[in-house]
């Protein structure tokens, strides 16, 4: 019988640590529900000791998720662990994830602790955690750059104290597949009680090898859990990408011979949701979920695929959620058709009121755009989410004037805590004028560090999706907005970023 490979998703924790990827509680809840639909085994929901906001997020996710284990991260100290356990109280199935650095560099320079002190702390904190919960994961941070003798000593001790999963992070993405696989194999062979724990891999992508390293950890090292994120989201170059790991293991079952719980047809919708929520655009040539992942441009390839699909395709696009018929709805489509399409896309609305308001927005969009694609619907739903989460600012209307040789002018109406206000300004272009019109009122002083426009479904008839990244007092946030008018999309994205800047969570980073 094939072994099972546990998929541990950390989009909401490690992925969220990426600068600008911070999410609101409602956004995290929506993604957690989608991950449950995808049948992820473990959802790492956050790091409760890092901020009150994160504590509330983990708690809310623990309240609603029933079919995946909800995991909560903690540094290896009693205060963090108690806080993480508290947030997990409502969970149907919960896991505490403790981490403590074990590399000489991290122990000396970051923790300023001796190896013996780290050993003791790892042991005592695991004991403390095990008294609160049965499912305990321990991660020696920067594990791959740690001295193997010392690591064996620490890991044997934490397994003795009741750790049930041992995760070996390549925190800085330094590993090479064969070396990482053998590193784990060696630990498992040398640690006498290694068979009492599930072994896990957690690879960062600094050298572009996170997926390859994770697979080597599984095949050579014998790991049976992979930690990954949707779209490979994560600090610096990101983490191991869930969609790539899953499709590698499924497509090459002949080689890996491992079973997965994942329901792959929800992969694309999940990828879109994460991208639209965080503003991290998926590159077109990204494996599995990129716009070109199943597109054949060359005549020879097209001809081959038409004659026999497997000449150039190793996976079926529809198996990961790409629909064969891309035009889905139009202005004559009714509420039931809209609801059904949402279901097919794996999007569930939380209430009738939410469905009604999304449908009203759909009708509004269909009046302006004759063909509504899946991408439009997903953007609309995520826009809906942004609007609901927006406590401070919301877009109402915009007018702008631009003419060759003249300086563009814009006038915008938006609400501040429900009260309508109006701002006007000129600018270098219509977008610049519109955002300056917002600033003329808000005066946030935020610096814009990124502005990007993307056509949601490819053509000029498409909706424009705009991402704006703002930086203020050391915080970086992304805002996303979609509209057939890219100036309006830009204003929506800017207001969404300002809303995120408002939630001033002082967070402690998990690695740092």
Binding-site ranges for ligand KIV (CB under 6 A):
14, 99, 139, 141, 169, 171, 202, 204, 510-511
CB-based closest residue to Zn ion: 14
DSSP character at residue 456: T
User: 224 or 236, CB closer to ligand KIV?
Assistant: 236
8 Å CB contact between 463 and 457: yes
- Count of alpha carbons within 13 angstroms of residue 451, beta-carbon side: 12
User: 14 or 137, CB closer to Zn ion?
Assistant: 14
Work out whether 14 is an interface residue with Zn ion (CB under 5 A).
yes
* CA atoms of 166 and 233, how far apart (whole Å): 23
Least distance to Zn ion, CB of residue 268, Å: 25
Q: What does 41 interact with, of Zn ion, ligand KIV, none (CB < 5 to 8 A by kind)? A: none
Q: What does 99 interact with, of ligand KIV, Zn ion, none (CB < 5 to 8 A by kind)? A: ligand KIV
How many whole angstroms from its chain centre is CA 140?
23
Least distance to ligand KIV, CB of residue 426, Å: 46
User: 141 or 465, CB closer to ligand KIV?
Assistant: 141
Q: Give the DSSP per-residue string, 208-248.
A: S-HHHHHHHHHHTT---EEEEBGGG--STT-B-BHHHHHHH
User: 239 or 467, CB closer to ligand KIV?
Assistant: 239
Q: Cα separations (Å) of 489 from 39, 131, 362?
A: 33, 51, 16
Q: What does 139 interact with, of Zn ion, ligand KIV, none (CB < 5 to 8 A by kind)? A: ligand KIV
* CA atoms of 375 and 382, how far apart (whole Å): 11
Least distance to ligand KIV, CB of residue 108, Å: 17
Q: What does 161 interact with, of ligand KIV, Zn ion, none (CB < 5 to 8 A by kind)? A: none
User: 65 or 240, CB closer to ligand KIV?
Assistant: 240
- Count of alpha carbons within 13 angstroms of residue 119, beta-carbon side: 12
User: 99 or 414, CB closer to Zn ion?
Assistant: 99
8 Å CB contact between 158 and 166: yes
Q: What does 141 interact with, of Zn ion, ligand KIV, none (CB < 5 to 8 A by kind)? A: ligand KIV
Least distance to Zn ion, CB of residue 148, Å: 20
For 287-304, what is the HEC assignment? Answer: CCCCCCCCCCCCHHHHHH
Q: What does 173 interact with, of Zn ion, ligand KIV, none (CB < 5 to 8 A by kind)? A: none
Q: What does 275 interact with, of Zn ion, ligand KIV, none (CB < 5 to 8 A by kind)? A: none
Nearest in space to 332 (alpha carbons), one of 291, 366, 298? 366
Residue 150: enclosing H or E segment and its boundaries? helix 148-160
Count of residues interacting with Zn ion (CB under 5 A):
1
User: 205 or 275, CB closer to Zn ion?
Assistant: 205
Which spans of this chain sit near Zn ion (rule: CB under 5 A)?
A: 14
């Amino acid at each position: 019988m094939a072994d099972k490979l546990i998929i541990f998703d950390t989009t909401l924790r490690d992925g969220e640590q990426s600068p600008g990827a911070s999410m609101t509680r409602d956004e995290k809840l929506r993604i957690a529900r989608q991950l449950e639909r995808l049948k992820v085994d473990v959802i790492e929901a956050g790091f409760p000791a890092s901020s009150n906001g994160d504590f509330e997020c983990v708690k809310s996710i623990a309240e609603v998720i029933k079919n995946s284990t909800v995991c909560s991260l903690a540094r290896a100290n009693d205060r963090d662990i108690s806080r993480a356990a508290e947030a997990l109280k409502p969970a149907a199935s919960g896991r505490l994830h403790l981490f403590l650095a074990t590399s000489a560099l991290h122990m000396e320079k970051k923790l300023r602790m001796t190896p013996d002190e780290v050993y003791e702390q790892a042991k005592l904190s695991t004991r403390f955690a095990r008294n609160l919960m049965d499912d305990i994961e321990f991660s020696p941070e920067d594990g791959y750059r740690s001295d193997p003798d010392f690591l064996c000593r620490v890991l044997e001790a934490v397994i003795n104290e009741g750790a049930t999963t041992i995760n070996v992070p390549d925190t800085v993405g330094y590993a090479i597949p064969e070396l990482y696989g053998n590193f784990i194999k060696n630990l498992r062979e040398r640690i006498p009680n290694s068979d009492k724990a599930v072994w896990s891999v957690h690879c960062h992508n600094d050298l572009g090898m996170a997926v390859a390293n994770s697979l080597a950890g599984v095949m050579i090292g014998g790991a049976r859990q992979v930690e990954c994120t949707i779209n490979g989201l994560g600090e610096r170059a990101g983490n191991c990408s869930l969609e790539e790991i899953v499709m590698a293991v499924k497509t090459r079952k002949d080689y890996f011979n491992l079973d997965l719980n994942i329901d792959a047809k929800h992969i694309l919708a999940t990828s879109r949701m994460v991208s639209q929520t965080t503003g991290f655009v998926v590159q077109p040539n990204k494996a599995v979920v990129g716009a070109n992942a199943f597109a054949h441009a060359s005549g020879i390839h097209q001809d081959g695929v038409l004659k026999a699909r497997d000449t150039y395709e190793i996976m079926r696009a529809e198996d990961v959620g790409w629909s064969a018929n891309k035009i889905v709805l139009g202005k004559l489509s009714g509420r039931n058709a809209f609801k059904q399409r949402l279901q097919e896309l794996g999007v569930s609305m939380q209430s009738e009121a939410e469905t009604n308001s999304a449908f009203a927005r759909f009708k509004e969009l269909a009046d302006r755009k004759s063909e509504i694609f899946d991408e439009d619907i997903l953007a609309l739903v995520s826009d809906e989410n942004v609007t609901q989460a927006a406590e401070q600012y919301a877009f109402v209307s915009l007018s702008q004037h631009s003419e060759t040789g003249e300086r563009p002018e814009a006038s915008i109406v938006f609400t501040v805590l429900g009260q309508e206000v109006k701002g006007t300004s000129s600018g270098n272009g219509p977008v610049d004028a519109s955002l300056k019109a917002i600033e003329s009122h808000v005066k946030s002083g935020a610096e814009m560090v990124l502005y990007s426009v993307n056509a949601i479904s490819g053509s000029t008839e498409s909706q424009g999706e705009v991402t704006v990244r703002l930086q203020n007092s050391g915080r970086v946030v992304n805002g996303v907005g979609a509209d057939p008018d890219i100036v309006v999309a830009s204003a929506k994205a800017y207001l969404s970023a300002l809303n995120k800047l408002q939630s001033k969570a002082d967070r402690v980073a998990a690695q740092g």
